[in-house]
């Protein structure tokens, strides 16, 4: 009995020392994104590139790094700045942004890189690329639509004439400025007959409404 009374207290009775919570570190890195890169941005594939990048950005929930970024302050106080003690939230943001920045750079072809040479953060790359290609698309759209309005058959065969119109229409679609079916027909005008249009059109490519419109446009 005496031995039991004099036994040392068990470890369970000793209060546990609190352990400070560690700041969760992000899992994103530029290497985790590289394998998802399937095309590089050049002068001909802006919309496809943009769609691809936006999908991956959503997958990793990084939208806030590109659109209206909220960057945590690097220093939480003047003392922190003097002593070079960075805000942990800023460190996490910087690590993630650097990974996204590197990945975005790797998605650009050499011809596009000069557009972003002064960028240091991912949102700056995104805005620079959007501004450049939207301005380029507007200029291309103006030129293509002008050609579509003024194109004539001239000495071209019906097939050559229609193929040129189709190439203009496809180019407008590729820059995000699609042509309506009526605009397409108006650009063709009178030189091509309804029968020629039917012969050149792919089987099953015309809707019922379009079949009805064709002869009306060529009465």
User: Is residue 200 domain-resident?
Assistant: yes
> Has residue 34 got a pLDDT over 60?
no
Q: Confidence class of residue 197 from pLDDT cuts 50, 70 and 90? A: low
Assess whether 173 and 197 both reside in one domain: yes
- Inside any domain, residue 17: no
Say if residue 130 is in the same domain as residue 176.
Answer: no
Cross-strand bridge partners of residue 41 = 108
Tell me if 113 is assigned to some domain: yes
Residue ranges in the chain assigned as alpha helix (H): 2-5, 30-34, 46-59, 63-66, 78-82, 88-106, 122-150, 158-174, 181-188, 194-200, 208-217
**Closest C-alpha among 148, 161, 150 to residue 191:** 161
Task: Quote the CA–CA distance of 81 and 74 in Å, as a whole number.
Answer: 8
Where b means 16+ CB within 10 Å and e means fewer, 145-159 reads: beebeebebeeeebe
Residues 127 and 169 in one domain: no
The answer to pTM > 0.85 is no
Do 178 and 114 belong together in one domain? no
Does residue 93 belong to any structural domain of this protein?
A: yes
Helix (H, G, I), strand (E, B) or coil at 121: coil
Residue 104, token pair as written in the block = 């975005």
Q: Scanning the structure block, which residue is given the tokens 């700041």?
A: 23
- Indicate whether 30 and 107 sit together in one domain: yes
Average confidence score pLDDT of the chain: 75
Does residue 20 belong to any structural domain of this protein? Answer: no
Do residues 74 and 173 both lie within one domain?
no
What value does the mean pLDDT take over residues 1-24? 44
Q: For the ranges 7-11, 52-56, 102-106, 178-182, which has the lowest average pLDDT?
A: 7-11
Which phi and psi angles does 21 have, rounded to 5°? -75, 135
Choosing from 74, 104, 136, the residue where a domain stops is 136
| Pair 181, 212 in one domain | yes
Q: Is residue 5 part of a domain?
A: no
pLDDT reported for residue 195: 54
Domain identity same for 45 and 104: yes
The residue out of 136, 163, 181 marking a domain boundary is: 136
137 - beta bridge partners? none
The pLDDT of residue 87: 95
Query: Has residue 60 been placed in a domain?
Result: yes
Q: Would you say residue 13 has pLDDT above 60?
A: no
Same domain, 185 and 113: no
Query: Is the pLDDT at 166 greater than 50, yes or no?
Result: yes
171 with 117, same domain: the answer is no
Residue 105 to residue 41: CA distance in whole angstroms: 10
> 37 with 130, same domain?
yes
The 10s digit of each residue's pLDDT in 109-138 is: 999 999 999 999 999 999 999 999 988 888
Distances (CA, A) of 181 to 26, 62, 116, 187, 195: 49, 38, 38, 10, 18
Instruction: Report the percentage of the chain scoring pLDDT > 70.
Output: 65
Give the end-to-end CA distance of the chain in Å, rounded to a whole number.
117
Is the pLDDT at 160 greater than 50, yes or no? yes
Q: Domain of 175?
A: 151-219
CA 16 to chain centre: 51
Query: What domain count does the chain have?
Result: 2
Within-domain flag for 3? no
Placement of tokens 């805005």 in the chain: 127
Task: Indicate whether 170 and 97 sit together in one domain.
Answer: no
Examine the pLDDT at 207 and tell me if it is beyond 70.
Answer: no
Cβ-based neighbours of 130, under 8 Å, separated by 6 or more: 50
Q: How far apart are CA 80 and CA 219, in angstroms?
A: 80
Q: Residue 47's CB: how many other CB atoms inside 10 A?
A: 14
Q: 53-100: per-residue pLDDT in tens?
A: 999 999 889 999 999 888 999 999 999 999 999 999 999 999 999 999
93 vs 189, higher pLDDT: 93
């Amino acid at each position: 009995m005496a031995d039991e009374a004099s036994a040392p207290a068990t470890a369970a009775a000793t209060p546990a020392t609190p352990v400070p919570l560690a700041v969760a570190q992000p899992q994103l890195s530029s290497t985790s994104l590289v394998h998802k890169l399937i095309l590089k941005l050049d002068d001909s594939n802006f919309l496809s590139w943009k769609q691809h990048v936006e999908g991956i950005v959503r997958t990793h929930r990084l939208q806030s790094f590109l659109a209206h970024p909220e960057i945590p302050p690097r220093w939480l106080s003047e003392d922190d700045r003097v002593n070079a003690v960075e805000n942990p939230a800023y460190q996490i943001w910087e690590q993630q942004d650097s990974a996204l920045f590197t990945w975005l750079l790797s998605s650009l072809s050499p011809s596009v890189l000069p557009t972003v040479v002064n960028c240091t953060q991912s949102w700056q790359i995104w805005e620079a690329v959007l501004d450049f290609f939207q301005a380029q698309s507007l200029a291309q759209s103006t030129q293509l639509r002008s050609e579509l309005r003024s194109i004539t058959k001239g000495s071209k065969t019906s097939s050559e004439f229609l193929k040129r119109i189709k190439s203009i229409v496809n180019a407008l679609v590729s820059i995000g400025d699609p042509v309506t079916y009526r605009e397409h027909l108006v650009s063709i005008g009178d030189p091509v007959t309804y029968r020629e249009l039917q012969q050149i059109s792919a089987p099953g490519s015309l809707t019922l409404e379009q079949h009805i419109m064709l002869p009306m446009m060529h009465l």
